[in-house]
Amino acid sequence: MQQASSYFEKWKQFFIIFFPIVITQLALFSMTFFDTTMSGHYSSTALAGVAIGSSLWSPVNASLTGFLMAITPIVSQLIGAKQDKKSKSHRS
């Protein structure tokens, strides 16, 4: 990531990061929406199965997303502090 000094550059960097996240979230939401819609047309049992599957998948997805969001700044901080090689030598 490059250093941004003006507001325009900061907004540009923000949207470069923002758009892939929004597209991913809309795709995940759309997938659940269309699964529910199509299974509701098939039968109430299929709709119940999709609802249960979706309610089980949502917390797993949120947990994994939260974990990845927490790991990113930790790794960035270590790389920025040039501690990536130092931490490797402790493992051996």
Q: Identify the H or E element spanning 5.
A: none
Looking at residue 82, the DSSP 8-state letter turns out to be: T
Length of the chain: 92
Give the domain extent around 81: 7-91
pLDDT tens figures, 8-50: 888 988 898 899 989 988 998 898 899 899 999 999 999 999 9
Is residue 75 assigned to a domain? yes
User: Rounded distance, CA 9 to CA 2, Å?
Assistant: 9
Is residue 2 assigned to a domain? no
User: Rounded distance, CA 8 to CA 91, Å?
Assistant: 43
pLDDT band at 62 (very low <50, low <70, confident <90, very high): confident
Per-chain mean pLDDT for the chain: 84
Is residue 60 assigned to a domain? yes
